Structure formats: C-alpha cells, structure tokens
Structure 1
Amino acid sequence: MASAVRAGHRLRRAAEGGELAALPAGLQAELEAALASQGALVPFSLLRRLHTALREAGYPLYLHELLEGCEIDLPEVLVPPRNPELVARLERIKAKLANEEYRRMTRNVTGQQMNGTLAEFGRQVRSVKAVVITIFNFIVTVVTAFACTYLGSQYVFAETAARVLSAVIVASVVGLAELYVMVQTLEGDLGKL
C-alpha cells in the first residue's frame, strides 16, 4: 500500500522559494530533509501535518496546490516463491484433468474402421427402422383414437352411424395432430443437418 508521494515541481518550488517560511521550524526541516532524500519521497504523515499547519496558519496555499505534479509512490510487491510441493501437486491435477477430458472426448470413438458399404448399410437400416416405427406409431394412435371414440360415444349417440361419424372425426383430428408433430420433428432433424 502506498505510504508516500514523490515530490513534484510545485512542492519543491514552495519549499525552496520560501513560500512555506512561516511553518514551524521542525516541520520545515523535516520537509526539506524529505525533499533532499533519494527519490524525494514525502510520507503521508508529513503531508497530514503540513496540511494541518497550513490550515491553522491561514495560508493562501492549499495542500492540493502543493501536490500538483506529485506522483504516488507505490512500493514494489514482492511475490513469494512458489512451494515446489504445491507446483508438483498442481501439475499432477492438471494432467489428471487433461486425461479425463481426453477420455470423455474419445469415449465413443472406436479404433476399428468399418467397411464403407457395411457402414452405409447400417445407416440405411437405422433410417428405415426409424421410419417404420414412426408409421406404426401413427397407425396405432389413429386406430386407438377411433376405437375409444366409437366405444365412448355409445353413451351419447344411440345410432351406429352417428357413433362412426364422431369416431372418424376424432380419429381425423388426432391423425392431423400426429402428422403435424411428425413434420415438425422431421424439420428439426433436417435443420440440424
């Protein structure tokens, strides 16, 4: 933390030119000694006493005017040497984390190359399998909606024609909703490609 300022041209001129002649002799001698020291470092404690003396004497000079051109002296921060045990431990931890990251990235990579035609056939089978499951799901959903509506409408309609018509309407709505969801899913899958 800073504890002194490097004297600027204004403070030197005031001390050497006699502008601060009415200050107490001890304070003036201390200020001159600080200005004559190596680096012309003036401690904050001396500046506080100088400020108090200027205020009591009713001087036309203010402290901020005297500090014009001064620089705060920041001491050099000494960084302690690192503990070799800590450095070795950190290196082991870094290596362990790097190995875990590598294993995570390569866990689904196999060392065997598949034959080109066999790999292509596998992709096509998976694609056909997904389409067959989707169509089967669609048919089951529509048939189930029809059956549930047909059986449930017996409490509302007495005639078979009305029951069939209501079941067809509900099955059509469910089928359209299912088609909408399938199209949205396919667009999302195609959008990722």
Structure 2
Amino acid sequence: MASSFVVGDTFRKKVTWLLDNTNSCLPQTLKEELEELLKKSQPTILSFSTARKLKKYLQDKGHLHSLHEFLEDSFLHLPQVVKPPRNPELVARLEKIKANLANEEYNRMTRNVNTQETLADFGQQVRSVKAAVVTVFNFLVTVVAAFACSYIGSQYLFTETTARVISAVIAASVVGLAELYVLVRTMEGELGEP
C-alpha cells in the first residue's frame, strides 16, 4: 500500500521557493523535513505525514499555491511487494492434497466400471448375439429345407415346374410363418411378457 510520493522537479522548485521566502513562518519540524528532502538525490520520496504537514501549513497561511500544485509531476510510490518463500512442508502437503483430490475424482468417474462385471456383460452380450445368429440361421435353414422338400415332393403331384415352384413357395411360407410365430412367443417368454 502506498505511503509516500515520488516527487519531481516542480516540487523541488516550489519547496526551494517556499523555504527561501518564508524561513521565519515555517514550523521548525516541517522546515527540517523539507530541507532534508531537497538534499536527497533523485528519486526523492515524500512521506504522507510530511505532505499533510505541508498541506496544513499552506491552508493555514492562505498561501498562493496548494499542495496539488506542488505535487503536479509527482506520483505515488508503491513499494515492491516481496513474496516470502513458500514453506516446503506446506508445498508437500498441498501436493498430497491435490493428488488425493485427483484420485477421488478418478474413483468417482470410474466407480461404475468394474472389469469383472464388464467381462461378464461382454460374455453375456456375445452369448446373446450368438443365440440371435443361431436363431436366424435356423430360420433360414428351416425355410430352405421346407422349400426343397416341397419342390422335390411335389414332382409326384405336378408335372410342370411352375406348379412345383409355387407349391414349394407356399409350403416354405407356411413353415416360415410358423417358425416366426414360435420365435416371437419364445422371445416374449424371455422378456417376461405372457
């Protein structure tokens, strides 16, 4: 926090003029402080307490110039903030806390993931896909076999190929529909629907 001004040439000139023209009226402490300031080399630092004394003197005596005119080319002196070195124990403790928080975050994110359950779920899904593939393959084999049997068996009834193909398609369609009915009823039973 600022507690002083860095004064410029305007301040030096006006204070020199003030000291030369009002030697007898200036309070002794203020006069000594101002003379001490003028002896210092650049940058000259004026404390707030001295600035207050000078302002009070200028106001009380009804002087031509006010303090802001003295400080025209001055600016606040902001001391450099020196950060103390960090305590190594504190740094180590903070690193440990950060590691614990990261571990808790990781555990929270992966709490639903269990490798044993994942592998079991994967195995169950493979079995489910395998059952579906076997069911579709079984359906196709049954329909093709029904068509082949009807086509070959119909040669004793029909002499024309067209009639044999139509009868085989009808027989395969009936077997396919029956197979689909059984498949749907089985799936309803697996899903728990009556």
What TM-score, normalized to structure 1?
0.54
Pair 1:56–1:29, CA change in 2 (3 A): same
Match of 2:86 in 1: 82
Match of 1:42 in 2: 46
Match of 1:71 in 2: 75
2:14 paired with 1:14? yes
For 1:103 and 1:69, the matched residues in 2 are separated by 62
Pair 1:3–1:118, CA change in 2 (3 A): same
Which of these two proteins has the greater Rg computed from alpha carbons? 2
Structure 1: 5+ residue stretches without partners: 137-193
Shift of 1:8: 2.3
Q: Please say if residues 35 and 41 of structure 1, whose CA atoms lie closer than 8 Å, have aligned partners that are also in contact.
A: no
Match of 1:95 in 2: 99
Pair 1:7–1:93, CA change in 2 (3 A): same
Secondary structure of the corresponding residue to residue 2 of structure 1: coil
1:16-31 alignment runs, 5 A limit:
16=16, 18-20=17-19, 21-22=21-22, 24=26, 26=28, 27-31=30-34
Aligned length: 126
For 2:18 and 2:127, the matched residues in 1 are separated by 94
Shift of 1:14: 0.9
Pair 1:29–1:43, CA change in 2 (3 A): same
Structure 2: 5+ residue stretches without partners: 133-186
1:41-190 alignment runs, 5 A limit:
41-111=45-115, 114=122, 118=126, 121=129
Pair 1:57–1:120, CA change in 2 (3 A): farther
Q: Please say if residues 35 and 42 of structure 1, whose CA atoms lie closer than 8 Å, have aligned partners that are also in contact.
A: no
What RMSD over aligned residues (CA atoms) do the two structures have, in Å?
A: 3.2
Q: Please say if residues 7 and 35 of structure 1, whose CA atoms lie closer than 8 Å, have aligned partners that are also in contact.
A: no
Match of 1:175 in 2: none
1:14-62 CA deviation, whole Å, 9 max, x = no partner?
Answer: 123x145325173234213224325200111111111111112211101
Secondary structure of the corresponding residue to residue 6 of structure 1: strand
For 1:11 and 1:119, the matched residues in 2 are separated by 93
For 2:7 and 2:37, the matched residues in 1 are separated by 9
Secondary structure of the corresponding residue to residue 33 of structure 2: helix
What TM-score, normalized to structure 2?
0.53
2:3 paired with 1:3? yes
1:143-174 CA deviation, whole Å, 9 max, x = no partner?
Answer: xxxxxxxxxxxxxxxxxxxxxxxxxxxxxxxx
Could you tell which deviates more after superposition, 70-79 or 47-56?
70-79
Secondary structure of the corresponding residue to residue 80 of structure 2: coil
Q: Please say if residues 5 and 73 of structure 1, whose CA atoms lie closer than 8 Å, have aligned partners that are also in contact.
A: yes
1:104-162 CA deviation, whole Å, 9 max, x = no partner?
Answer: 112223445637x73985xx9xxx99xx89x99xxxxxxxxxxxxxxxxxxxxxxxxxx
